[in-house]
Amino acid sequence: MTIREIEKEITEEFSMFDDWMDKYNHLIEMGKSLPLIEKKYRTDQYLISGCQSRVWLSAEMEDGKVIFKADSDAVITKGIINLLIRILSNQTPDNILNAKMDFINQVGLKEHLSPTRSNGLTSMIKQMKLYAVVFKTKMAQ
Amino acid sequence: MNFDIKKIRKDFPALHQEIYGKPLVYLDNAATTLKPQVVIDSITNYYSTINSNVHRGVHYLSQQATEEFENTRKNIRKYINARNTHEIIFTKGTTESINLVANSFGKKFLSHGDEVIISELEHHANIVPWQMICEEKGAKLKVIPINDNGELILKKYKDLITDKTKIVSVSHISNTLGTVNPIKEIIDIAHQHDIPVMIDGAQGIVHEKIDVQELDCDFYCFSSHKFYGPMGVGVLYGKEKYLEEMPPYQTGGEMIKTVTFKKTTFNELPFKFETGTPNVADVIGFGSAINYIKKIGIENIIRYEKELLKHATEMLSGIQGLRIYGEAKKKAGVISFLLKDIHPYDAGIIIDKLSIAVRTGQHCAQPVMDRFDIPGTIRASFAFYNTKEEVDKLVQAILKVQEMFG
């Protein structure tokens, strides 16, 4: 699926919820179901620091596509990570770089990507795009 | 005096708003308190009428600005019972007050091999300035440890003191755990060795009656905005004998006596430490806050808050899977806690959605978090306008959080 298609799918998924509590219950479920990153990645080397919650992120290249894996110590953060991974993982570096990520606004989770939340998510997206740049450069060589 | 909570709540306009469609419950008072209408009015009034710079003009409004500004200084002197008005220095806040002392006192009195004592309970603002000056001077920073209840271990403190110790700087009340430190004892012990003591009173002034002469502390500092006044104003009280000897911290206008390109001589206290145009409006606003507190009576506030904290502690302790961090015998204002298997950030998000303002995270006190090996806490902090009903709403919110993450 393209990034656009996945974004549309997520937006539709979230439009089913009438109130914030259902939405957060859904996020919590997703946070719990996110496959955990292998223990070897849960180290400082892969840590994206946020003052409130911590995020670990790893990236690998497989058949021209970037595979992201991530984890967090907070469940809601993990739920949002789950969304970000669904969208950006298994995509080409170019597609990752071009992704606008505006679905976040549409599903009403914008506040979680505000730098004042200091939950590591803003830095996580930056880091994902940075990985895409690195892989793109490597591919060109 | 009759403590009329309904009437008091009317004095704070920010209490009467809805967040996410429900009445706000504000339990983040250790971060900043709400402001009574009289404080807001006095700031508006300053900008609507006086709006002049202090200590400079001969014109009517400038005279009036100076008078109100200096009256606040006198007011604060009286409130904390300092001996002299010129021992009251206006700063931007507690952080600047500590930076001022660390730098200026450090410059004059610290040398290679000397020692500074702080505690494990401190806010970063009472750690980093000392770390920096110690590094610069080749001095050593020593730390009084805490026990599992979050109380300073005084025996260890006594052991840390040597003939190299030049200053002790500790908080009056911990912003993270709510521990009320035995500062009188800490000061007396230091004074037996002729070591001056600085007290970070950012939380202390809010929940205790302060008499700096009785305490005999050498420095005491606090912020206006945590004490019902405006942001951007703080106070440093210092004993004259130290302030006189300490060099200026920042330089510029106001703080000078004469300036030539060869040599500048400095103004006397308190102006030596107050360069540049001060935050006149907010200093005057802080004066109104102190008058307001005096009217309610700090003793009444302390009594009411004690009852509220007792109620909150009992209610929260009754929740299964909730652990309170900081169980000192003497506590004030703050309860820090964690819920079993729930990250404080997760809990904080849901509590916020239920229109309750609490703080989650490390509270600018990473060493305390490291001490207990936790990622952070959820902190509810109380003011005298909070009610038992609000505490009960917090309890409901916590139960909801447990239900959602269970």
Give the pLDDT band of residue B253 (cuts 50, 70, 90): confident
All CATH 3.40.640.10 domain ranges of chain B, comma separated, are 40-294
> B344: which chain A residues are within 8 Å (Cβ-Cβ)?
52
Q: What is the DSSP letter of A51?
A: S
Compute how many other C-beta atoms are within 10 angstroms of the C-beta atom of residue B254: 17
Catalytic residue among A16, A21, A51, A140: A51
Pick among 3.30.230.70, 2.60.120.20, 1.25.40.10, 3.90.1150.10: CATH of B5-30+298-401: 3.90.1150.10
Residue A60, both tokens: 């690998």
* Domains detected in chain A: 3-140 (3.90.1010.10)
Has residue A32 got a pLDDT over 90? no
Residue of chain B minimizing CA distance to A53: B345
pLDDT for B2 equals: 67
Local structure of B150: helix, strand or coil: coil
B20 reaches A (C-beta below 8 A): yes
Q: pLDDT tens-digit profile of B136-150?
A: 999 999 999 999 999
* Contact between chains at A28 and B405 (C-beta distance less than 8 A): yes
Long-range contacts of A59-66 (CB under 8 A, 24+ apart): A59/A128, A59/A131, A59/A135, A61/A135, A61/A138, A61/A139, A64/A92, A64/A139, A65/A90, A65/A91, A65/A92, A66/A90, A66/A91, A66/A92, A66/A93, A66/A96, A66/A131, A66/A132, A66/A135
B406 reaches A (C-beta below 8 A): no
Mean pLDDT of B123-129: 97
Cis omega (within 30 of 0) on the bond before B23? no
Q: pLDDT tens-digit profile of B148-205?
A: 999 999 999 999 999 999 999 999 999 999 999 999 999 999 999 999 999 999 999 9
Residue of chain B minimizing CA distance to A52: B361
Residue of chain B minimizing CA distance to A112: B349
Tell me the residue length of chain B: 406
Mean pLDDT of chain A: 87
What's the ipTM?
A: 0.89
For residue B364, indicate whether it is catalytic. yes
All CATH 3.90.1150.10 domain ranges of chain B, comma separated, are 5-30+298-401
Nearest to A73 among B350, B362, B375 (CB): B375
Q: What is the DSSP string of B246-310?
A: SPPSS-SSSSEEEE-SS-EEE--TTGGG--S---HHHHHHHHHHHHHHHHH-HHHHHHHHHHHHH
The answer to whether A34 touches A71, Cβ cutoff 8 Å, is: yes
Burial class (CB in 10 A: 0-12, 13-18, 19+), B109: middle
A20 reaches B (C-beta below 8 A): yes
Nearest-angstrom CA–CA distance, B188 and B197: 9
Q: Which CATH architecture has domain B40-294?
A: 3-Layer(aba) Sandwich (3.40)
Distance from CA of B23 to the nearest CA of A (A): 17
Distances B302 to B70, B205, B235, B267, B308 between C-alpha atoms, Å: 28, 11, 21, 39, 10
Give the pLDDT band of residue A115 (cuts 50, 70, 90): low
